[in-house]
Structure 1
Amino acid sequence: MAVKPETDVFGQERKNWLKRFVSKTISDTTAPGKPSFRVYPTLAYSPETSFEFGFSSLLLFQAKNDTVNRLSEINAFTFVTLEGQYGIWLDNAIYGDKDNWFFLGKTKFQRFPLLYYGIGPETPGNEPALIDANYLLLRQRILRKVVRNAFIGPEFDYQQLYNTDFKQPEGHDVYELPTGSNGGKNLGLGIAMVYDNRHNVLNVRKGLFAELSFLSYRKALASDHNFFGVNLDFRSSHSTSKRNVFAWQVYGNFMSGDVPFNQLALMGGEMIMRGYYSGRYRDKNMVAAQAEHRWLPFKFSRRFGGAVFGGAAVVAPKVNEFSWKHIRASGGVGLRYLLFAKKDIYLRLDVGFTKDGPGFYLFTGEAF
């Protein structure tokens, strides 16, 4: 009897492993109410990072495996770039049985040079400084239900910037060193009030989320600076048809005191004002708004969908100094892929366009 070479057996095993991995990644065979977990590779590109390679993982579950309870999610994202940057992000939105508790937060650690364009609504964009540093963020809200869909509870926010190196543009000094440029740590304690009637945090087809929070950072509480902030976040989603969703968001960040540059209100990023580098414009106060129309999925496809979005934002040192002439606009398009069919979760690829150029974003779940 002829025996296949050992290399063929190993080769077939590798092929079968790859086939099982791909099948598990794109298929959703989990029974309703049971936890779902996926790990899949990601690839992205931006001028700041060059090519970025990483893995995303997503855990979805419902308290006590009861489909009546809201869908909770823990989303992790790790990356490394050709520029030697690396990090891990972790977001959580966890609902207890019958919504009695709600844990909403994020964790970040990254070694990622920050581009610094200065502070204010009219900063130049041709020669940013480079701040190379380690960055740690721990933010969590521990909320208790008071009435249906309404929660209140303590919030803490710890941010640390260390091993910093502020590099001016080559050949000359352009920027005055901002508060916190040598690094530091700040612990904020406060309170958050949330109204949330969404059932699926990652893909809201109908629902309202509203948050008002207050955080105080004091030297007496292990902070390097004294300052405080008020945050407002209002999001609303509306089903315009079985497949289509229209969503909008208004966001405000208002701060006062000796605020370090990395904790100022930051315009841009993967959530709001997509297309702008996060912190392209920064100051103590910011107001932003965005709207988005989503096809989930397209009428001619079972898994692929898309989106169009637009937004505007403005920053200012004081609330009474907001100016129409400083409003910045962004807009873009996105592609969606149905990653968890039974739980209605999509993988999103967005391209945001601004006067500074495009920005690309690949994440699980919608931006808001």
Structure 2
Amino acid sequence: MIRKRVLTLILIGIFSIHSAQGQDNWFKRFVQKTISDTTSPGESSFRIYPTLGYSPETSFEFGLSSLFLFQAKKDTLNRLSEIAAFTFITLEAQYGIWLDNAIYGDKDKWFFLGRTRFQRFPLLYYGIGPQTPGKDPALIDANYILLKQRVLRKIIPNLFVGPEIDYQQLYNTHFNQPDNHVYDKPIGTDGTRNIGLGAALVYDNRHNVLNVRKGFFGEISFLKYAPGLGSNYNFQAVNLDIRSSHPTNVRNVLAWQVYGSFTSGNVPFNQLALMGGEMIMRGYYYGRYRDKNMIATQIEHRWLPFGFSKRIGAVAFAGAAVVSPKITSFDTRYLRPSGGVGIRYLLFPKKDIFLRLDVGFTREGPGFYLFTGEAF
């Protein structure tokens, strides 16, 4: 779910350090300790820092973000693995825990790629389809659990294959209609539990997942959800994700991505193809447009870092996406554009990991995002 975190204590501290002259206080020393990178090559690194944000749905949000980086057997020739965690609580009594992992075994024999979510957080619902009202969304308050994991085995260099499992559940749901509009309640708004089993085929020659200077990632996966597996609904999903990064010089990178999500059957509203969020179509609320099928693409230029700075960089990005009820009915009239800019701070210099703050612009307004590592 989207986070509009427009303020962070760590970011404030970073720029305080760069702008303050001769100040020596506890906050400065705390931030310097947090952002310094003293680990040797191959050694693991761990950082934790507080966040503070605000959005209309949550009021003020207080959280902690952490990142654990390591290489199998402390061998710098192995790919960089990462486990990222985020936990939050809001003044509206919402809370959540996020956990993302991309773990490579020694010499890439195994690759574990997944995410976990547990949260009580409001979901805005604008309806289903490529053309839905932009005002007066419904508010769906619910508890949400997601457990998604791929266990992949290398079959030839850079090519992995293996099973995938996806568990998603909504419970304690409350569908709150807006004052000026009445929505038909979609499938799943009274609570839903779905378990999907399938397989994924992944090609990945990236060395640093969080900041790809050069490399290609391609994934195609299939998941089947059925009552026999414990699901409330019978449907299937195919996902396609292609990403490529190309260095333009020693500091700059040009990257692009094409993403497709295609579902069929009785798909609950929360597992439709969802446009928006912190990764692709930044600027749109996650799920602002949703339907059974979506095609999206984006391109981004990264200055990592600027030539005049050791730690500060920036990006500029643009994207477009469209949703459709059928694969054969995509309509370019409903193609939604987005674009934006971001600043970067080199959080782990020895591992080339940046903290990113992006602002995405759409016809409906801006969205703000703060995360560790690039969007794709």
Asked if Structure 1 and Structure 2 have the same fold, meaning a TM-score greater than 0.5 normalized by the shorter chain, the answer is yes
- 1:79 Cα deviation after fit: 1.7
Structure 1 residue ranges without an equivalent (≥5): 1-14
Instruction: Pick from 208, 217, 220 the counterpart of residue 212 of structure 1.
Output: 220
Matched, 1:168 2:191: no
Kept in 1, the 8 Å contact 2:136–2:181? The answer is: no
Q: CA RMSD in A?
A: 1.3
d(CA) in 2 for partners of 1:82, 1:251: 35
Instruction: Indicate the residue corresponding to 1:305 in structure 2.
Output: 313
Cα deviations by residue, 1:246-300 (Å, 9 ceiling, x for unpaired): 1000000000000000000000000100000000000000000000001100111
Instruction: Indicate the residue corresponding to 1:5 in structure 2.
Output: none
Matched, 1:346 2:354: yes
- 1:16 Cα deviation after fit: 8.4
d(CA) in 2 for partners of 1:22, 1:168: 44
Instruction: Indicate the residue corresponding to 2:61 in structure 1.
Output: 52
Cα deviations by residue, 1:163-195 (Å, 9 ceiling, x for unpaired): 00001012x651101000101100000000000
Instruction: Pick from 31, 35, 45 the counterpart of residue 44 of structure 2.
Output: 35
Instruction: Indicate the residue corresponding to 2:101 in structure 1.
Output: 92
Instruction: Indicate the residue corresponding to 2:131 in structure 1.
Output: 122
Structure 2 residue ranges without an equivalent (≥5): 1-23
For 2:73, the aligned partner's letter is K
Instruction: Indicate the residue corresponding to 1:188 in structure 2.
Output: 196
d(CA) in 2 for partners of 1:16, 1:297: 28
Instruction: Indicate the residue corresponding to 2:280 in structure 1.
Output: 272
Kept in 1, the 8 Å contact 2:67–2:84? The answer is: yes
d(CA) in 2 for partners of 1:23, 1:324: 49
- Between the aligned residues of both structures, percent identity stands at 74
Listed as ranges, the matches of 1:352-363 within 5 Å are: 352-363=360-371
d(CA) in 1 for partners of 2:155, 2:306: 39
d(CA) in 2 for partners of 1:65, 1:21: 28
Listed as ranges, the matches of 1:1-368 within 5 Å are: 21-170=30-179, 174-368=182-376
Kept in 2, the 8 Å contact 1:44–1:360? The answer is: no
| TM-score normalised by structure 2 residue count | 0.92
d(CA) in 2 for partners of 1:356, 1:80: 27
Aligned residues: 353
Instruction: Indicate the residue corresponding to 2:8 in structure 1.
Output: none
Kept in 2, the 8 Å contact 1:332–1:350? The answer is: yes
d(CA) in 1 for partners of 2:55, 2:349: 30
For 2:105, the aligned partner's letter is G
| TM-score normalised by structure 1 residue count | 0.94
Runs of 4+ with deviation above 6 angstroms = none
d(CA) in 2 for partners of 1:21, 1:343: 21
d(CA) in 2 for partners of 1:348, 1:281: 25
Kept in 2, the 8 Å contact 1:247–1:292? The answer is: yes
